[in-house]
Amino acid sequence: MLIRPHDTGTDEEQWRSFVRSQGFGQLAVAGTGDVPIVVPTQFVLRNDDVVFHLAKPNPVFEALEATPRGVLSVAGDWAYIPGAWKAIGDEDPSRGIPTTYYAAVQLIGAIEVIDDVDRIAAILRAQLADVEPVDGGLVDPAEHAAQFRVIRGIRLSIDEVRAKFKFGGNFAAEHRAVVIERLNSRAGPGDHAAAARVPRG
């Protein structure tokens, strides 16, 4: 993905907190076909790896036999910015250039397929801890070990990160302030999240 200097983000914690907040992405593996295998999935970021599970019949496992590397692509906090929103003062709104603000992070690395029941149980615990209330009352995943035969765990060890935060960093602070105000006023899906990411000052 193209990442211009003004869209690179601020630091490592920025992309990590974004990835954690999303918790859902697209795993892409090259495999041997004419197009990559792309799998939507929930996941958990743990330090420098990502873990999740998939059903055994998923075609991604055949692709991983040929290419045991992949990309987990996570995108969100997107909002359409009408061209007229960028006009301030006596600027002509009809000459504004529309765009879309968004965050996108690609986590790239080697992928390990996990069939060990204890490690699968650990992955399921991590995923549940990420989304279930602490007092949710669910039994430990190991209680469902008989069903582990139909799933496999995945661990992606991150060795490269591509992070893009496209939120008007190439515009003057006065323009960004207007966009923030209009995003918050419109209050559509993603507008508040996008507004919160637009650089202040």
- What digits encode the pLDDT tens for the residues 177-197? 999 999 999 999 999 999 999
The strand pairing partners of 39, in sequence order, are 27
pLDDT of residue 147: 86
CA distance 109 to 47: 14
**DSSP assignment of 5-71, as one string?**
GGGS-S-HHHHHHHHHHH-EEEEEE--SSSS-EEEEEE-EEETTEEEEEEETT-THHHHHHH--EEE
SS3 assignment, position 142: helix
Pairing of strands 44-46, 151-166: unpaired
Q: Is the pLDDT of residue 9 over 90?
A: no
CB contact at 8 A, 63 and 55: no
Q: Contact at 8 Å (CB) between 48 and 107? A: no
63 within 8 A of 30, measured Cβ to Cβ: yes
The torsion angles phi and psi of 190, rounded to 5 degrees, stand at 85, -10
> Residue 201 is encoded by which pair of tokens?
């000052």
Q: What is the pTM of this model?
A: 0.92
User: What pLDDT is stored for residue 45 in this prediction?
Assistant: 97
Which candidate, 104, 139, 132, places its Cα nearest to that of 44?
132
Q: Which of 41-50, 84-93, 154-163 has the lowest mean pLDDT?
A: 84-93
For residue range 28-71, what is the model confidence (pLDDT) as tens digits? 999 888 899 999 999 999 999 999 999 999 999 999 999 999 99
> Looking at the predicted structure, is the pLDDT value of residue 135 above 80?
no
CATH topology of domain 5-170: Pnp Oxidase; Chain A (2.30.110)
Which of these, 6, 4, 198, lies nearest to 102 by C-alpha position? 198
Nearest to 113 by CA among 160, 73, 161, 67: 67
pLDDT given for residue 144 in this prediction: 83
- Give the start-to-end residue ranges of the domains of the chain: 5-170
CA angle, 92 then 97 then 103, to 5°: 135
